[in-house]
Structures are given as structure tokens and as C-alpha cells.
Amino acid sequence: MFNNHKHLIDIAEYSDSEIMRILETARLFSEVNQRRIKKVPTLKGMTIVNMFNEPSTRTRSSFELAEKRLSADSLNFGGSSTSTVKGESLIDTVETLNAYKIDMIIVRDKHAGAPHIVTQHSPAAVVDAGDGKHMHPTQALLDLYTIWEHKKSFEGLKVGVVGDIAHSRVCGSLIPALKIMGAEVTVVAPQTLLPAVPSVLGADHVSLSLDDVLPELDVMYMLRIQNERLEGAPFPNINEYHRLFGLTRDRERLMKPDAIVCHPGPINRGAELDSYMADHPERSVILEQVYAGICVRMAVLYLLLGGADNGLAS
């Protein structure tokens, strides 16, 4: 437990001070991750299942590394290699895993709400690693960590979240998290990639034009076009989208001199970003976000599984 939290699914259930405690703990683990021996015994004897029923590179690999660096036992499980292909239900699968006396389940699933269902059928702690178009709380935390390292404070920080708002689970956690921490959020998208009621996300402003808002923003958070979730051709073609909403070498001249560029990955180069901006040595913090993923996930596992009761056990 971390304060009264057993699970991490909806970031909106966490207060600003609790989120800050996660970020500060992640910073401690960043020091561990820069040692030659990047391992502490804090979660020795704990068993964590990584149940990934949908593809993942960053989230899956960083959870697994975080578990190993905290000395927990990891079980990697999910997708087409499991008995779900024979028709076994999510609930029966979870009840099977429960029989092993596991301590935590990390859930990535294409169905929104799957992590919540797991909490109802397992005594283990549950962390949402991305569910459908719904939420992705550890992504939001690693994004906050990266922004905090660069901007030092969230209060009044102007963050633009640009692109495929309607299909993005990143938005479902990132926008509430930024608001909890005091940032000012502008969502930018063509009308067809906005939810029917944009205010439901809690953003302060909605813009249909990137060029109108770009000069004011401190952080450009470029979302991936969710090709696998698009329906009904929401824009004529990728070139058109890139011309109007892509962050490009030409558009850079409109940006504040110290504005940074974030992206959750994987990048569609030539759609939401050109390679010049994706790889920009001063502005792009995308690989820093990847690094933050392991530090933040170590912090989340450590706090939820009671590692704080034992200290860092370094």
C-alpha cells in the first residue's frame, strides 16, 4: 500500500503530494540506475506478473527491468502464447495466476477497464500498463518526471497535447495528472480527432490550429497517430495531417527558445514529428522519457508493495 492506494489505475485518485512523492522516489532510483551494480534487494521475495495481452516495447521492458532491479521475481505472461487462445477468460486466467500467491499484476490489455476487472478477481495489487483507449498512468508519471527534470515546477507551465486525442489512452492519464500538478493544458487537434465533448478531459483550452498556440507553449507533447484504432478516415492522408499538425523543422521557428518536445513512443516519423524534431539534440526529450520509465516504474512498485517500509535497502 502507498498511503491508501493498493492499485495504480486512475491517476486522478492520487493527490499532488502523492504524485510528487512518486517523482521524488523515482529520482532516488535514478541514482541506483546510474550505478555499476543497478540492483537493490528491496522487493526480494515478491512476485510480479507482467500480463501483456497487447504489444509493447517500452512499458513491458521497463517494468521487467524495474522488477529485476528491485530484486522481485518476474513472470512474463500474456497474448497469443497463453490459454486465452483456447478460449480461457480473463477472469479464469487471473484466478489461475492467484493460485501462485502473486503480489502484483501489471496489466496491458486492448480492452478498456481490464485492469479494474483484475482488481475484482485477485488479492494482488494491480497496475494499469495501458488499457484500450482509456488510461496509461505510469506513462503519465514518466512524462511528468521528464518535464519536472527540465522545467523544475508544474505551476502555470503551458503544455500543449497535440494530435490523436480521441484514441489516446496517454491523454486519459496525462491531462488529469498535469492538471493535478498545476499545469495549464491546451489540446490541439483536428475536430475529427477530438472527443465529442473535449472538456471531458479537463484541459483548459482546445485549439484546432497548432500554429496559433505554438508560440505560447513550454512543452509540446506530440501524440502518436493510433493507426490501429482509427475509424472513418479522420483526415485525408498522413501528408495532410503532417502539414497541419506535425511538428516540423519549419515550425520550430514558432516555438519558445526553451520549449521541449515529448512523445510517448512509438513515433510515426513523418506524421506527428519529422526526424529533425524527433532527434533534436536540445528540444527532444523522448529518450529521456524512456529512461524515466524505469525510474518511475521502480518507484511505483516500491511504494505500492511496501518497499518504503524497509527503506531503499541499498
For ligand CP (CB under 6 A), the number of binding residues is: 10
| Joined grid coordinates for residue 91 | 477472469
Residue of the chain from 59, 119, 173, 186 that contacts ligand CP (CB under 6 A): 59
111 vs 251, beta carbon nearer ligand CP: 111
Q: Could you say whether residue 57 binds ligand CP (CB under 6 A)?
A: yes
| Joined grid coordinates for residue 183 | 499545469
230 vs 254, beta carbon nearer ligand CP: 230
Residue of the chain from 264, 292, 300, 304 that contacts ligand CP (CB under 6 A): 264
Q: Could you say whether residue 138 binds ligand CP (CB under 6 A)?
A: no
Residues pairing with 107 in the sheet? 51, 128
84 vs 226, beta carbon nearer ligand CP: 226
- Exposed e or buried b for every residue in 267-286, given b needs 16+ CB within 10 A? bbeebbbbeebbebeebbbb
Residue 304 to residue 125: CA distance in whole angstroms: 8
Sign for the pseudo-dihedral over CA of 197, 131, 138, 104 = positive
| Joined grid coordinates for residue 25 | 522516489
Q: Could you say whether residue 265 binds ligand CP (CB under 6 A)?
A: yes
Q: Could you say whether residue 58 binds ligand CP (CB under 6 A)?
A: yes
Contact segment (CB under 6 A) with ligand CP among 51-59, 241-249, 250-258, 305-313 equals 51-59
Q: Are 159 and 147 in contact (CB under 8 A)?
A: yes
58 vs 256, beta carbon nearer ligand CP: 58
Residue 77 to residue 38: CA distance in whole angstroms: 24
Q: Could you say whether residue 56 binds ligand CP (CB under 6 A)?
A: yes
Q: Could you say whether residue 50 binds ligand CP (CB under 6 A)?
A: no
Write out the residues near ligand CP by the rule CB under 6 A.
56-60, 130, 139, 264-266
